[in-house]
Amino acid sequence: MKIAPLQVLVTGATGRTGSLVVQKLQQLPDRFTVRGFARSCEKVEQLFGTTAGFYFGDIRDRAALTLALEGCQALVILTSAIPQPQGVPQPGQRPSFIFAPSETPEAIDYQGQINQIEAAKAAGVNHIVLVGSMGGTDENHPLNRLGNGNILIWKRKAEQYLINSGINYTIIRAGGLLDQPGGKRELLIGQDDSLLTNPPEGISPSIPRADVAELVVQALLEPDARNKAFDAISKPEDAPNAIITKDFAALFVRASYQ
């Protein structure tokens, strides 16, 4: 008996990682029917060549989310507040950043994600995959100082809300994101920033966006990814004795339940 494709909504679908997730899901039409949720029609046209299958709106607009989630079994959250450069840095100075008043991490990464979780719950979604960031255990992490937004703190609070929501979840806390090809590295998973504070020798706490996107796809397919939250980084392509990760079921088994 043929199994119907899983209906999935991806929010943040025009982001650099979100667009990769949408593309990967589109390449598996027997397993997934994918919808994208974005703000900009023009950006969707630019990235995908069509707006078919996309819904448009703000993640804080419950009505827009309700329409997009109708009939979906899974939701992938890839939305995030984005700081903007403030002024022109002087020679020798680091650039400074600011969040627009309505686009703060509290508004987007906390309230916006809560709105998505609640809309998904009301729509009968049974699995949410949330892509977050490593560093959430450190209040003094440099990313928290960007625009005084405490972005990692708000992300971690939204993660906890999801864990407590009663919906099946997978939380992927990615290391530093690299714009490099995926499928060429050994992936490592850990808990509560252990790979950030004490990474294996010679390995930086980073991971290609394409590998994060593949983790999302596999998390939707593998039962052992459910109700787990974990950090994810990768070994360099040329790391000695590295084994390219292909068995994602085994990888998820090694992740701890929260």
Q: Of 35-44, 107-116, 232-241, where does mean pLDDT reach its minimum?
A: 232-241
Tell which residue, 35, 41, 18, 39, has the closest CA to residue 71: 35
- Establish if 233 belongs to a structural domain: yes
Q: Range with the lowest mean pLDDT among 6-15, 105-114, 116-125, 190-199?
A: 190-199
Give the pLDDT of residue 86. 77
Q: Which long-range contacts (CB under 8 A, 24 or more apart) does 235-238 make?
A: 235/185, 235/186, 235/187, 235/188, 235/200, 235/203, 236/185, 236/202, 236/203, 236/204, 237/184, 237/185
Q: Is residue 89 part of a domain?
A: no
**Does 142 map to a domain?**
yes
Residue 239 resides in a domain: yes
133 annotated active-site: yes
Per the structure, the count of domains in the chain is 1
How many angstroms separate the CA atoms of 173 and 201, rounded? 20
Q: Catalytic residue, from 19, 80, 102, 133: name it.
A: 133
Q: What is the pLDDT of residues 128-175, one digit of tens each?
A: 999 999 999 999 999 998 888 999 999 999 999 999 999 999 999 999
How many other CB atoms sit within 10 Å of the CB of residue 241? 6
Distance from C-alpha of 207 to C-alpha of 222, rounded to nearest angstrom: 21
* CA gap 253, 77 in Å, rounded: 22
User: Per residue in 81-100, pLDDT tens?
Assistant: 998 887 666 676 677 889 99
258: in domain: no
Reported confidence tier of residue 76, pLDDT bands at 50, 70, 90: very high
Domain region containing 37:
6-84+94-253
Is 219 in contact with 172 (CB distance < 8 Å)?
yes
Residue listed under structure tokens 């560093």 = 135
Residue 1 lies in a domain: no
- Give the separation between CA 38 and CA 59, rounded to whole angstroms: 9
Residue 155 pLDDT:
97
CATH number at residue 147: 3.40.50.720
